[in-house]
A and B are shown apart, each in its own frame.
Chain A
């Protein structure tokens, strides 16, 4: 009986993944076929783009642009995550201070960070510090606000339980508040990830000499449209890989939450 069941499960797994991929595959094929004879400057054949991509990014040295960008991203995103969770937690802990500070925070929050760019460039110049600052300034908010919200939303009965179990304030935070808020903290971190990738590129579009954003802009200005497209595709791949890695981490960190939710849905 078991081998039959396993076979059926495996078949369903294969089928669900085929179903998941067919549309993407169709789009790729369509792009390949429709662009094959293209003479348009702006939409070169996909085949040519991929050939250039291979030559530039895999064989060539354009990769160094990617490493430069990812370096800024890594530092900026880490700082944004740590500061976001930290300040969010402090605003939760010191509610009275939070009440006074929140209006200012929200005021800064609504300024599009792109609008601050000229000011930041003026103050910090055009080096790595400027790029990291921009990433942090934009990416800190989703994590901070979600952390604050998640901690405020902890079930009061869980806090009563902590008191009944004689937990100290520190232990309550560690054992109850942080895990209970974790699903929302992770949602914030995921949003921050997307914002950080966007700002990584934006920071390289102004007064920059390196990075993948610079590469794309510079290719466009040289009318090297095929190269421009390779940069965009690499960027899309990088974004996808980062998202996949994040989801993998999330599945480990929130294993209990995903499991409990699945049980809940079954009723």
Chain B
């Protein structure tokens, strides 16, 4: 891939946010009598290396927002910039993990071949591809499952495969839509810690949409709180909890409880 001059790119990176959302609005069936406003006005920035969670009451248009942030859906007005460029399609340096791994993984391909898809698209050679597959499967703590089919694995392992596939193309940013909502509580904790480790190891920017306030507080550097539909930004909450975080220690700390309470108030009053 022939990118721009690296020194220029580096200068850009230092100053500019990875993701910049400016007065984004999205209406379905715009211009018709059935017009329905899903997002009224949303603005926020995500700095390089930051972990930002987006929370809101159910039906707050979180999934619509995620689709706009990923470039799958064009905004009705306003703008989303990824690394300085307005989104037209899904950018090369952005990866998306959807909630439902059973729908986003390809059941006709083995785990190895699922993870290989983005590498094949990018034209990576066979040897490099195999090395990279091993690398990302290792990064998500998956052992020797490459020859299995996704449906032969547990839900938690399947979501790890989906995360590995998203990491394969070495993205700058990972966009996740309720990625842990389809697994049981214990697996959920494991996956939360996994994504924190992966983010630390790969120095990656993460934006994660969730309805789970505890999860948002546990994971995020900052939390964007949305109002009910049509969505606006109600407040952007800083999460100054120290890292590395641990499920038991962090969640039982006083600061965690205060933040959690504050967010609860915001979300319940806005719905």
* Smallest CB separation, A204 vs chain B (Å): 40
B-side contacts of A180, CB under 8 Å: 108
Across the interface, do B70 and A166 meet the contact criterion of CB distance under 8 Å? no
A37 at interface (Cβ–Cβ under 8 A)? no
Q: Tell me whether A263 and B121 are in contact (CB under 8 A).
A: no
Q: CB of B72 within 8 A of chain A?
A: yes
Main secondary structure of the interface of A (DSSP, over half): helix
Interface centre among B67, B104, B122, B165 (most CB of A within 10 A): B104
Please tell me if B100 contacts chain A, counting CB pairs below 8 Å: yes
Which residues of A have CB within 8 Å of B89? Answer: 163
Q: How far is the CA of A165 from the CA of B94 in the complex (A)?
A: 9
The answer to whether B108 touches A257, judged by C-beta atoms less than 8 angstroms apart, is yes
Interface string of B90-119 (1 = CB under 8 A from A): 101001101010011011110000000110
B contact residues around A165 at 8 Å (CB): 117-118, 121, 165, 169
Chain B positions 54-107 with a Cβ under 8 Å from a chain A Cβ: 67, 70, 72, 89-90, 92, 95-96, 98, 100, 103-104, 106-107
**Within the complex, which residue of B92, B103, B149, B165 is in contact with A166, where a contact is CB–CB below 8 Å?**
B92
Contact between chains at A175 and B72 (CB < 8 Å): no
Q: What's the least CB distance linking B97 to chain A, in Å?
A: 9
- Output the nearest chain B residue to A166 by Cβ-Cβ distance: B121
Which A residues are in CB contact (< 8 Å) with B118?
A: 165-166
A157-200 vs B, Cβ < 8 Å mask (1 yes, 0 no): 11011011111100100011001101000000000000000000
A94 at the interface (CB under 8 A from B): no
Note all chain B residues with C-beta closer than 8 A to A7: none
CB distance from B101 to the nearest CB of A (A): 10
Q: Is A22 an interface residue (CB 8 A)?
A: no
B104 touches A158 (CB 8 A): yes
Contact A179 B108 (CB under 8 A): yes
Q: Given the complex of chains A and B, what is the CA–CA distance between A157 and B102 in angstroms?
A: 10
Which residues of chain A have C-beta atoms less than 8 A from B117's C-beta? 165, 167, 175
Contact indicator B72/A163 (Cβ below 8 Å): yes
Contact pattern, A 22-34, Cβ under 8 Å of B = 1, otherwise 0 = 0000000000000
CA distance A176 to B121 in the complex (A): 13
Asked whether any CB of chain B lies closer than 8 Å to the CB of A99, the reply is: no
Question: Chain A interface residue count: which class?
Answer: 20 to 34
B155-172 vs A, Cβ < 8 Å mask (1 yes, 0 no): 000000000010001000
Pairwise interchain contact B96-A259, C-beta atoms closer than 8 A:
no
Instruction: Say yes or no: is A119 at the interface (Cβ < 8 Å to chain B).
Output: no
In the assembled complex, B256 has its CB within 8 A of some CB on chain A: no
Bound complex: CA A165 to CA B98 (Å)? 12
Contact with B along A240-267 (1 / 0, CB 8 A): 0000000000000000110110011000
Closest to B175 in A: A164
Q: Is A155 an interface position by the 8 A CB rule?
A: yes
Which residues of A (71-113) have their CB < 8 Å from a CB of B? none
Question: What is the CA–CA distance of A54 and B200 in the complex, to the nearest angstrom?
Answer: 77
| Least distance between B104 CB and chain A CB atoms (Å) | 5
B contact residues around A179 at 8 Å (CB): 106, 108
Most central of A158, A160, A264 by chain B CB within 10 Å = A160
* Chain A residues with CB below 8 A from B152, complex form: 259, 263
Partner of B103, one of A155, A175, A264: A155
With the chains together, A160 CA to B92 CA distance in Å? 15
Does the CB pair A259–B121 fall under 8 Å? no
Cβ distance A151 to chain B, nearest Cβ, rounded Å = 15
Indicate if the CB atoms of A157 and B98 lie closer than 8 Å. Answer: yes
Q: Which residue of B lies closest to A253 (CB)?
A: B108
CB <8 Å contact, B90 and A164? yes
Q: Which residue of the partner chain B has the closest CB to A175?
A: B117
Q: Is the CB of A256 within 8 A of B108?
A: yes
Residue from B104, B109, B151 within 8 A of A259 (CB atoms): B151
Q: Which residues of B contact A (CB under 8 A)?
A: 67, 70, 72, 89-90, 92, 95-96, 98, 100, 103-104, 106-109, 117-118, 121-122, 149, 151-152, 165, 169
12 A-B interface contacts by CB (under 8 A) = A157-B100, A158-B103, A160-B98, A161-B104, A166-B90, A168-B121, A175-B117, A179-B106, A256-B107, A256-B108, A256-B151, A260-B107
